[in-house]
Amino acid sequence: MDKQSLSTNLFMDKQSLSTNLFMDKQSLSTNLFMDKAKELQKIREDMERDKNLPLISKPEDIIPGDGNPGAEIVFIGEAGGYHESIQRKPFVGNAGKFLDQLLRSINIPRESVYITNMVKTRPPENRDPLPEELETYSKYLDREIEVIQPKVIVTLGRFSMGKFLPTARISGVHGKKFVVKWEDKDLVIVPMYHPAAALRNGEVMRQIREDFLKLPSILEEMKNKEDEVGQLKTEQMKLV
């Protein structure tokens, strides 16, 4: 075989290998997405069958989480309201429209994130969730987090903030990044005011708008750290 033929064959082999690796990664990513979607659907079905959940008289009372199973950001509110109970989706009323507006301000489509609540239904008269309600529903929120494994969790309001930062006051920590231990894992938590509170208070609205502008840089920071860890692992494997 002459040098030209050998060079051509080597080039074609490299191209073939590169194409196969790309297709394998794409296939792996698609399979992982589908697996997460199935797991989230199972969580929903488990909630609908759970006879021990408070405030539930029929399966349709459940308001499951909604969004991208492969989301990098998860938003957690406190509970559903009237519109949420009708559509069975979180954040679809006035507060939800404002949340959509905030997401657009940082060029993040709602469809790319995952949105859920501490309590997966509507409390009577939209009252605050009770401690025992938060506790009973927490196992389902924990499962959502475990399945999605987001890079960043944004808590909306003091109830979801309290799950991860129980001693914090939202007025002092909103918009800041915290790394907390959760079931032997490090979670990045960014507490923010609830969009409904912003609709009632002009100063809170100003603050939440500013806080949202920080999210792209926080997400980019997390991606860079993951890349650094990945490169370090690759270098360590080469030494083995």
Q: Could you list the residue range(s) of the whole structural domain that residue 33 is in?
A: 3-239
DSSP 8-state secondary structure symbol assigned to residue 190: E
176: CATH: 3.40.470.10
CA neighbor of 149 nearest in space, from 237, 45, 50, 74: 74
Segments in the chain forming alpha helices (H): 3-49, 82-87, 94-105, 131-148, 158-164, 170-173, 195-200, 202-212, 215-239
The domain total for the chain is 1
Separation of alpha carbons 216 and 229, rounded Å: 20
- Residue 204 corresponds to which tokens in the numbers above? 């809170």
User: What pLDDT, on a 0 to 100 scale, did the predictor assign at position 22?
Assistant: 47
Separation of alpha carbons 153 and 114, rounded Å: 10
User: What pLDDT, on a 0 to 100 scale, did the predictor assign at position 240?
Assistant: 54
Per-residue pLDDT 10s for the chain (240 aa) are 565 555 555 555 555 544 554 445 566 678 999 999 999 999 999 999 999 999 999 999 999 999 999 999 999 999 999 999 999 999 999 999 999 999 999 999 999 999 999 999 999 999 999 999 999 999 999 999 999 999 999 999 999 999 999 999 999 999 999 999 988 889 999 999 999 999 999 999 999 999 999 999 999 999 888 776 556 555 555 555
In terms of DSSP bridges, do strands 178-182 and 114-117 run parallel, antiparallel, or are they unpaired? Answer: unpaired
Compute and round to an integer the Cα radius of gyration of the chain. 22
Task: Give yes or no for a contact between 115 and 91, defined as CB atoms under 8 angstroms apart.
Answer: yes
